[in-house]
Amino acid sequence: MQFLRLDYKKRSDEELMTMILDKNELAFDELYCRYSIKMYSFFYRMLYCDRDKGEDFLQDIFLKLIDKLELFDSERKFSSWFYSIASNMCKNEYKKIKLRNYHSEVHSFSDISVNTNIYEELDLKSFNDELYHFLEDMDEGPKSAFLLRYGNNLSIKEIAEILECPEGTIKSRLFYTMKYLSERLNVYKPGGN
Amino acid sequence: MKDDILNIIPDFESLLRNKGFAELSSNEKASVMQFMTIEEYESMRSNTARVIELFSKEEKNLTIDKNLEPDLVNRLRKKKEKSITWILSFCLAFRVPVYQVAILLLAGFLLIPKSNLKIVTQVLSIFRIDTVFIEKSINSLASDKRGNLTSIIHPGEKNRISKPHISKVRPILINQSSPYFANIITHFQSEKNGHAIENDSTLYNRLLTLQLNGN
């Protein structure tokens, strides 16, 4: 069994998807391991650090994957396809939030334990809070680009494909986001000193 | 800071992530300095690094409900079972059991007399192989490029269509008062009756010779 799992680890996402089409549970397990945390962190950050909502969205996106397996275009890169579904789900959620005129409460990061000294931790916490306040004020498009680039470490080309924008637009969004963020976070000295 | 930094340095973001100001080439330094101070560049660089570090640490601390994956695998399993039992459920969806209908069809097939079967086979062969011509009245005829009709309809003969014969043979001008002409014709007639001549082209050749000789 362990040997089989190792074999699945060598497979590409697209190969795993082909196997899942044949209802291969081990292939699904491998794909879940690869993408569950990545997707959860994306939803969590996009949806105002709401863990429950993040988990609901994570479940929804994997249910969509199972129910609409046949819709996957094997010519396309799986990660781009999967992230574009995630991005559209967030886009719809933002529309709903806008309609409800809902303002969520930004969750604190006090539950994140980091093995540093108390001053560094306080500084990091302040930085985190300021970052998330900043993200809350951002529009869905630039926020998605920012999180996909720095949170999920995707290339600019891939982000452009996911968000259906030219690469220049993504570069511009990233530049201005980082510029404003930097101006806002300037009080927090680099390195936490 | 000017707004067109990305026109001058399109990969500014990668520069920011990978190189400190001191590591930039003199050209890169000059380009960056057009838009921001060294402090601004270093501030953006350090904040980018901190954001990446924060997100990375945060990801390690995120935990997902452990029941989520088994639920999803169950969903996949149900989908699999669903597809296997699809044909069976399709059959069961009918009130009349399928096997009864199948027996009825089989019995009916066996009861058909052999002669009828032959007819059925022949009809099928007509449908599959034979070409059936259907009589149809003609309303218009084809014409050549000059607009001249190339065919004629004969209404008295069930609208039979015929094509007028146009000879491709060059016409021959012959002096019919020539004694040679009369001789050729007489000779031709006798030869034809006696089966000595093969076809009309022999006559044509003789007449042509007559014309060339100037008679």
Task: Among A69, A101, A133, give the residue marking a domain's end.
Answer: A101
Q: Which long-range contacts (CB under 8 A, 24 or more apart) does A163-167 make?
A: A163/A84, A163/A87, A164/A84, A165/A141
CATH number of the domain to which A132 belongs:
1.10.10.10
Statement to judge: residues A118 and A43 lie in one domain:
no
Strand runs (DSSP E) across chain B, as ranges?
152-154, 160-162
Instruction: Check A55 against B83: CB less than 8 A apart.
Output: no
Query: Which one of B57, B63, B77, B82 makes the best mutation probe of the A interface by having the most chain A beta carbons within 10 Å?
Result: B57
Residue B41 is predicted with a pLDDT of: 92
Statement to judge: residues A116 and A162 lie in one domain:
yes
Query: Which one of A58, A178, A189 makes the best mutation probe of the B interface by having the most chain B beta carbons within 10 Å?
Result: A178
Statement to judge: residues A55 and A14 lie in one domain:
yes
Residue B107 is predicted with a pLDDT of: 80
Statement to judge: residues A91 and A136 lie in one domain:
no
Residue A163 is predicted with a pLDDT of: 94
Rg of chain B taking only CA atoms, in angstroms: 50
Spatial CB neighbours of B155, under 8 Å, sequence gap ≥ 6:
none
Statement to judge: residues A116 and A76 lie in one domain:
no
Buried b (16+ CB within 10 A) or exposed e, B30-63: ebbeebbeeebbbbbbbbbebbeebbebbbeeee
The alpha-carbon gap from A175 to the nearest alpha carbon of chain B, in Å, equals 7
* pLDDT of A102 higher than 60: no
3-state SS assignment for residue A171: helix
Minimal-distance CA residue of chain B relative to A130: B51
Find, among B73, B85, B47, B207, the residue nearest to A184 by Cα.
Answer: B47
Cβ-contact A17, A73 below 8 angstroms:
no
The alpha-carbon gap from A169 to the nearest alpha carbon of chain B, in Å, equals 10
* pLDDT of B5 higher than 90: no
Query: Where residue A93 falls among pLDDT bands split at 50, 70, 90?
Result: very high
The range of the structural domain enclosing residue A144 comes to 106-193
- Name the one residue in this structure whose structure tokens are 């093969």: B198
Over the stretch A109-127, which tens digit does the pLDDT of each residue have? 444 454 556 667 677 778 8
3-state SS assignment for residue B149: strand
Instruction: Check A181 against B47: CB less than 8 A apart.
Output: yes
Residues of B in contact with A128 (CB under 8 A): 54
Minimal-distance CA residue of chain B relative to A187: B43
Statement to judge: residues A94 and A150 lie in one domain:
no
* pLDDT of A103 higher than 80: no
Cβ-contact A78, A154 below 8 angstroms:
no
Instruction: Check A131 against B13: CB less than 8 A apart.
Output: no
Per DSSP, the residues of A77-112 read -HHHHHHHHHHHHHHHHHHHHHHHT--PPPPPSTT-
Instruction: Check A178 against B47: CB less than 8 A apart.
Output: yes
Give the dihedral of Cα atoms B201, B202, B203, B209; nearest 10 deg: 110
Over the stretch A29-56, which tens digit does the pLDDT of each residue have? 999 999 999 999 999 999 988 899 999 9
Instruction: Check A112 against B73: CB less than 8 A apart.
Output: no
Over the stretch B175-201, which tens digit does the pLDDT of each residue have? 667 777 777 777 766 665 555 555 566
Instruction: Check A131 against B51: CB less than 8 A apart.
Output: yes
Find, among A36, A81, A85, the residue nearest to A59 by Cα.
Answer: A36
Minimal-distance CA residue of chain A relative to B58: A112
Instruction: Check A66 against B75: CB less than 8 A apart.
Output: yes
Could you tell me the CA-to-CA distances from B155 to B51, B133, B139, B160, B161 in Å, in that order? 95, 20, 11, 7, 9
- Write phi, then psi, for B5 (nearest 5 degrees): -60, -35
Residues of B in contact with A149 (CB under 8 A): 13
Average pLDDT over residues B163-167: 62
Residue A70 is predicted with a pLDDT of: 85
Statement to judge: residues A19 and A46 lie in one domain:
yes
The alpha-carbon gap from A56 to the nearest alpha carbon of chain B, in Å, equals 10
Is pTM beyond 0.90? Reply is: no
- On the 0-12 / 13-18 / 19+ scale of CB atoms within 10 A, B23 is exposed
User: Which percentage of chain B shows pLDDT scores above 90?
Assistant: 15
HSE toward the beta carbon, residue B103, CA cutoff 13 A: 5
CATH number of the domain to which A8 belongs:
1.10.1740.10
Average pLDDT over residues B28-33: 90
Statement to judge: residues A124 and A175 lie in one domain:
yes
Query: Which one of B2, B14, B21, B50 makes the best mutation probe of the A interface by having the most chain A beta carbons within 10 Å?
Result: B50
Statement to judge: residues A41 and A116 lie in one domain:
no
The CA-CA-CA angle for residues A106, A124, B46, to 5°, reads 110
Query: Where residue A62 falls among pLDDT bands split at 50, 70, 90?
Result: very high
- On the 0-12 / 13-18 / 19+ scale of CB atoms within 10 A, A49 is buried
Q: How high is the ipTM of this complex?
A: 0.83
Across the interface, of A58, A114, A182, the residue whose CB is closest to B64 is: A58
Residues of A in contact with B49 (CB under 8 A): 190
| CA–CA gap between residue A132 and residue A185 (Å, rounded) | 11
Task: Among A101, A128, A145, give the residue marking a domain's end.
Answer: A101
Residues of B in contact with A191 (CB under 8 A): 46
Cβ-contact A121, A114 below 8 angstroms:
yes
Statement to judge: residues A17 and A83 lie in one domain:
yes
Residue B133 is predicted with a pLDDT of: 61
HSE toward the beta carbon, residue A10, CA cutoff 13 A: 4
User: Which percentage of chain A shows pLDDT scores above 90?
Assistant: 50
Task: Among A61, A85, A101, give the residue marking a domain's end.
Answer: A101
Q: Which two tokens stand for residue B106?
A: 């089989």
